[in-house]
């Protein structure tokens, strides 16, 4: 049995404790859309599961692929500068998106040495990395890829989407990837044509029966479900790798319009009492309470590369829906 195999067995046996025995960096990237919904779910299902882990936050507005790669690289830079200041290296790096809504915990079985673990599906002809978990060296390889516009252009990849570029990079680096099921989806405000054609993005209903694996989602009244939904999923490009839609497991939203006016009620029914209570608490929050909440979040954060909490709270509570923070 090779060293990695032994290590993985130990992890599986020791579960959370074994992951905790190493040092873990959790890196949250992306635009904080609907953070009042996603934030509490991330705290509960990711951060609180690994209380010893350090948090790195690098949110900003994402505009296009180049900014996306800079963002990914940005988090690795934050981690490296923290490591060199503190003179140690992390064992594990978890990277996920601020706009992810987590319906269940991030399980320790997804921490596997020697491979980069990503969600099933949404491949867009490559690999989707809306979440990635790996040992430090492997994560560093995954996160520092093609990180500047110059590199991208020099490598001749300007025509690729983020997933195919990622896949190419992982192949070049001879890093293996493994797909796992994860109970999170990317909360989306965008409108999409419906029913989706072969190559347009489907928006899953938040009414989660199976793992959404980082699919786009929103709360919607009367989602398409059962056979009706299956027929639509079946017409989508198989490269998207939707493995869990069969037998009515995944509902679909007609996302041609904005979120419904009473989306809050729909959300509460779909996500269960804990997440519903969290939503209501945030919705009723004053700026002072928000700042104090974010203060707790900042306390966990090794590097805060975002606007200050007062600004985030004023923005978020004034608009109630979108906290779009542009980092300097």
How many residues belong to the site for ligand NAG (CB under 6 A)?
16
Question: Burial level of 65, CB count in 10 A (0-12/13-18/19+)?
Answer: middle
Please identify which residue in 42, 170, 186, 250 interacts with ligand NAG, judged by CB under 6 A. 186
Rounded to whole angstroms, how far apart are CA atoms 249 and 237? 18
Please identify which residue in 1, 87, 273, 284 interacts with ligand NAG, judged by CB under 6 A. 87
**Residue 105 near residue 184, CB atoms below 8 Å:** no
Cβ distance to ligand NAG smaller for residue 167 or 294: 167
Binding window for ligand NAG (CB under 6 A); candidates: 46-54, 78-86, 212-220, 230-238 = 212-220
Cβ distance to ligand NAG smaller for residue 164 or 314: 164
Residues 6+ apart with CB under 8 A from 5: none
196 forms part of the interface with ligand NAG (CB under 6 A): no
Which among 18, 40, 92, 77 has a CA at the least distance from the CA of 281? 40
Q: What are phi and psi of 188, to 5 degrees?
A: -120, 135
Q: For the chain, how long is the longest CA-to-CA vector?
A: 57
Binding window for ligand NAG (CB under 6 A); candidates: 126-134, 174-182, 244-252, 270-278 = 126-134
Please identify which residue in 63, 84, 148, 256 interacts with ligand NAG, judged by CB under 6 A. 256
The tokens for 129 are: 């990395």
40 forms part of the interface with ligand NAG (CB under 6 A): no
Cβ distance to ligand NAG smaller for residue 217 or 323: 217
Q: What are phi and psi of 322, to 5 degrees?
A: -110, 125
Position of tokens 């001749």?
156
> Which spans of this chain sit near ligand NAG (rule: CB under 6 A)?
87, 122, 128-130, 162-163, 186, 194-195, 214-216, 254, 256-257
């Amino acid at each position: 049995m090779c060293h990695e195999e032994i290590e993985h067995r130990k992890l599986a046996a020791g579960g959370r404790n074994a992951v905790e025995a190493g040092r873990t960096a959790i890196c949250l990237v992306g635009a904080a859309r609907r953070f009042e919904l996603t934030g509490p779910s991330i705290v509960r299902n990711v951060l609180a599961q690994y209380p010893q882990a350090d948090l790195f936050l690098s949110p900003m507005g994402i505009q296009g692929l180049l900014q996306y790669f800079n963002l990914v690289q940005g988090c690795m830079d934050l981690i490296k500068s923290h490591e060199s200041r503190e003179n140690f290296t992390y064992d594990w790096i978890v990277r996920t998106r601020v706009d992810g809504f987590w319906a269940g915990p991030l399980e320790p079985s997804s921490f596997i040495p020697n491979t980069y673990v990503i969600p099933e599906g949404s491949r867009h002809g490559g690999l989707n990395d809306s979440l990635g978990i790996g040992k430090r060296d492997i994560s560093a390889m995954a996160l520092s890829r093609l990180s500047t516009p110059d590199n991208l252009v020099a490598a001749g990849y300007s025509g690729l989407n983020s997933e195919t570029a990622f896949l190419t990079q992982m192949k070049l680096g001879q890093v293996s990837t493994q797909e796992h099921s994860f109970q999170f989806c990317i909360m989306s405000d965008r409108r999409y044509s419906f029913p989706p054609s072969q190559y347009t993005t489907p928006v899953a209903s938040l009414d989660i029966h199976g793992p959404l694996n980082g699919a786009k989602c929103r709360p919607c009244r009367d989602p398409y479900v059962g056979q009706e939904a299956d027929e639509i999923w079946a017409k989508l490009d198989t490269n998207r790798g939707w493995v869990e839609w069969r037998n009515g497991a995944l509902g679909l939203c007609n996302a041609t319009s904005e979120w419904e006016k009473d989306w809050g009620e729909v959300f509460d029914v779909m996500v269960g009492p804990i997440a519903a209570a969290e939503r209501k608490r945030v919705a009723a929050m004053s700026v002072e309470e928000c700042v104090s909440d974010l203060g707790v979040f900042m306390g966990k954060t090794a590097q805060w590369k975002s606007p200050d909490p007062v600004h985030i709270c004023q923005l978020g509570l004034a608009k109630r829906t979108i906290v779009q923070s542009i980092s300097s």
